Structure 1
Amino acid sequence: MNKIWIDERLYTGRPSPEGRLPKEIRVYDMLDSLKIPYVRIDHDVTPSIESCQRVDELLGIEICKNLFLCNSQKTDFYLLMLPGTKKFRTAALSKQIGTSRLSFAPSEYMEQYLDIAPGSVSVMGLMNDKQNKVRLLIDNEVLQAPFLGCHPCVNTSSLKLSMKDLLDKFLPYTGHDYLAVKL
């Protein structure tokens, strides 16, 4: 695996908008407006959970694995948050949520509903799902952690924020609820 560049400084506020995508800046605008504190770190593109290991260490968290899924008819969409080291078992999840076989959703739906490109999937994308087309599923282990690690809709920065703020401020703001699952 190639080593990625990481700015090992931890930032407690928003970056300058220069060189940043508007969708990333909208995340900081939203977090600031909701008074949700966060710690941020910048890095090269992190194409996989494995490449996030040093980022995890610096932030003192485990970045969640975020999977964008759909049913076979492509009518129901799900964002699944699970620990980065946990294996995804489609049959177990399908049974828990009472749906037919799940698969990875095509990238065009990810961009349409969450305004996120593959490799950058994050719970922060729910702020762009104004019609609540995506159902949030959170593994119990993730819910038990005091802090959450995620991308700000791009995979060149990572954030650490409290699970309490995610559940009590962010999700109500987006109009999304969540379903706890055990994988």
Structure 2
Amino acid sequence: MITPEEKRVLDVLEELNIPYTRMEHIPVYTIEEFEKIGNMPKSVCKNLFVRNQKGDRHYLIILENSKRADLGKVAEQIGSGKLSFASEKRLEKYLGLKPGSVSPFGLINDSQKEVRVVIDRDLESIGEVSFHPNINTATLTISYRDFEKYLAWCKNKVVYVQI
């Protein structure tokens, strides 16, 4: 069943002529839970919503699901102070999302373009990326090139790092 949150994502992808594949599944909150249900696309990405120490900058870090992000090293590469995970309240305020559904598709809800996107350089070599469509009961897969097209449409600042 397609929810209003997901429909908004699908409408944007259609507007941008971005083809996708869609997979429905039980609610999953972590990569580990997704792995347990099986059939997980290799291209599923980790998405971390973090903030700087002052709480005046927010970042969406996107990386391969097999990697772990060292927030200290990411902070160095983006020229930020200490990074920590943002609260549920901040996630709702800036991306309009609930925990377990963090996704770059949430940038659709960031009308003020306050969230900076931090992408692991190695993602490009995968060829495809997969994300929740702002709910955690489905996953969409698109090409990496189309992902870049989507990000350009969003107009949020994008920075590439090595994780």
Which among 99, 104, 110 is matched to residue 123 of structure 1? 104
1:153, distance to aligned residue in structure 2 (A) = 0.4
Q: TM-score, normalised by structure 2?
A: 0.94
What runs of 5+ residues in structure 2 fail to find an aligned partner? none
Structure with the greater alpha carbon radius of gyration: 1
CA distance in 1, matches of 2:83, 2:74: 8
Query: Match of 1:16?
Result: none
Q: Structure 2 CA distance, aligned partners of 1:173 and 1:121? A: 19
Q: How does 1:103-182 map to 2 (within 5 A)?
A: 103-167=84-148, 169-182=149-162
Is the CA contact (8 Å cut-off) linking 1:67 and 1:121 kept in structure 2? yes
- The higher relative CO (CA closer than 8 Å, separation ≥ 6) is in 2
Answer yes or no: is the 8 Å Cα contact 2:115–2:157 preserved in 1: no
RMSD: 1.2
CA contact (8 A) 1:40 1:157 kept: yes
Taking the aligned partners of 1:149 and 1:42, their CA distance within structure 2 comes to: 12
Provide the residue aligned with 1:38 in structure 2.
20
4+ long deviations beyond 3 Å: none
Superposition deviation, residue 93 in structure 1: 0.7
Q: Is the 8 A contact 2:103 2:133 kept in 1?
A: yes
**SS of equivalent residue, structure 1 residue 172:** helix
Count the aligned residue pairs: 161
Inter-partner Cα distance in structure 2 for 1:143 and 1:114: 24
Shift in Å at residue 176 of structure 1? 2.1
